[in-house]
A and B are shown apart, each in its own frame.
Chain A
């Protein structure tokens, strides 16, 4: 860990999500201001449950590699650590190992020797069951039901780490900290807090910076540069045409947060209700008054995903005004015929609660569903996605196949004779989607201590000589 003078800690938030394409020129410019560390998170639940369920990244490998290369080269050149959290989108062990593999390629190709701290945050199922039995898993609002069956069904469950495992990694002399699921802000708060800077300012600086240039007035190519001091912090962007204003920084704490003022972290609550924001110059904002209220109980947020089933879709449209006029009744008739077909084929082997048939009706309420207030408008044209979900792909595909005829030919009273009501977009009409997942935890765990949920190890990556000598 580099020796740090006490007046301030400087950092670069290289990008809002590793794989998004770091702007190299802005990074270079910001590096001339001598930061103490570079950070960026690589994950989010915003991409949906698929990443956590499948073990795959939502960003392509090549993009991740480019961004890692930019950060690791800059960090190594300046002798400062690089922190990446929520590896591979979801931060499971498979995601961390996949990202480590990319980092190995980067290190070898750039002839870098990198002491890497790898922190895993995937949770063992029997450990989770123990916590559950000890009433150490508590729901957040709103939460799906959790029991041992849910734990068994989960593809993987991760715990969201705070600053503590990152601090241990930095203390261990890591050039590169590669973390599983991790609070985005913690990547920025870890080192300043370890060096005794106020936790409220450190966490808030992380909160502002973790989405990269989203905290600027207009988002664009660039990086965020922060200075954390004893009684305030300063943020500014580096990038063409970018500026932070008091309003842009204040407003950013609203983004993707249910509560604009209070933010729960493992070790306490970040309280922004007394934060003040002032313009320091054309592009910089000074923030003060942010507080951190330590919690008596250490909590770790859990994220889990389970397999829902396998899906098959049919996409198409309807232009017939007689059908659109009575769409609900017509679709009810279509559904009845499809369900009759399913029951004829599968009999007792597939009960009605083992599959789901959903019509997404574009032009009516596909986007807003139950929240749609306009129930009266009659559109000219309807887009329809039939979505069949079943325990196997074979069954889902079969349901889609036998749905086509009812969609095509189900009658309306205005027309006599054979009609073709549904305009299929594709041939074959169905699309197999493979496995689909759902998030199944919105809970916190109360571990017995701060360490037990996160496993760290040091590995030396880079040129073969370095890897060999480290092993000796």
Chain B
């Protein structure tokens, strides 16, 4: 099953002008735990998907919020020349199709 089918919200956003953050949220504990136990989400998996260095990726499993979080430094700071997403809200699509066993 795709990650988007199990989650209630997959989003990206600025965490300040210098960091992008990604949240993956679930409607129930069962779906959250299914993804957590599958191990498909990790700093390494994210780094490969977004073609960035693994050591720059911060990954959190937030059990009480039924959510996962990734944070990475912005390649281009918010609003600087060349930035195409001022609010960082349209960076999440590559996560949507992650296959969850």
Contacts and interface: CB of A to CB of B under 8 A. Distances in A.
Interface of A: 45-46, 48-50, 140-144, 246-247, 250-251, 253-261, 275-277, 308, 356, 358, 360, 366-371, 373, 387, 389, 436-439, 442
A387 B76 CA distance: 16
A97 B86 CA distance: 27
Interface in B43-101: 49-52, 58, 60, 62, 64-67, 69, 71, 73-87, 90-91, 93-94
Contacts of A436: 79, 81
A369 B78 contact: no
Given A247-B66, A253-B65, A144 B76 contact: no
A367 B94 CA distance: 13
A170 to B, nearest CB: 28
B62 A254 contact: yes
Nearest to B66: A247
Interface residues of B, number: 42
Contact of B79 (A48, A141, A257, A258): A48
Contacts of A367: 84-85, 90-91
Nearest to B71: A258
Interface string B2-41: 0000000000011111110101010000000000000000
Contact of B15 (A49, A256, A275, A360): A256
Given A254-B25, A371-B51, 4 more contacts: A251-B25, A254-B65, A369-B76, A439-B77
A439 B65 contact: no
B66 A373 contact: no
A246 B94 CA distance: 29
A49 B74 CA distance: 15
Nearest to A369: B84
Given A144-B77, A369-B82, A45 B16 contact: yes
14 contacts: A48-B78, A250-B66, A254-B23, A254-B67, A254-B69, A256-B15, A308-B80, A356-B81, A356-B82, A366-B84, A367-B91, A369-B76, A371-B75, A439-B80
